[in-house]
Amino acid sequence: MSPASEKAFPVSWDQFHRDARALAWRLAGAGPFQAIVCITRGGLVPAAIVCRELEIRVIETVCVASYHEYRTQGATAVLKGISPDLAGVAAGGEGVLIIDDLVDTGKTASIVREMLPKAHFATVYAKPMGRPLVDTFVTEVSQDTWIYFPWDLGLSFQPPISGRPA
């Protein structure tokens, strides 16, 4: 996606916290869940909020890299799989909640879905290409929108939407 064609969606810490809590509200009726599998790195913050709200104590990570240099999506690689202990307890992922910040093209989601096909997959944000792979999400954004998460931002000027200088 080129900078000229993308739509910017900056998300503050307050907004992200509200959206992650909204995700927890939606998930409260979908459980019970015995464990969370958090997709790193983006899923770490929403997983912390959701596990607190739903009182889930077993938290596992799966480490998948798909974005490189923060802006380009490239080859997807599993850097760390799911613990055999969790995989053995939850046959196919039943009773497991998978959490990520965003489903974009669905490449990462597809890989994790294969690992735990019966798990409930939830993201805070969803784009149209990846949306069919998740069971629950809070906000849909267009495919050409770039979400600027609060952990990636500092305080700086944001150009107007029209593209004209302020």
In 104-144, DSSP assigns E strands to 120-126, 136-140
In 10 A of CB 140, how many CB atoms?
12
104 noted as active-site residue: yes
Terminal-to-terminal C-alpha distance of the chain: 24
The position carrying tokens 């958090």 is 38
**Given the residues 100, 135, 144, 152, the one annotated as active site:** 100
Beta bridge partners of 123: 100, 137
Strand 120-126, strand 136-140: pairing:
parallel
Catalytic residue among 14, 19, 85, 104: 104
19 is catalytic: no
The catalytically annotated residue of 14, 19, 85, 101 is 101
Which positions are catalytic?
100-101, 104
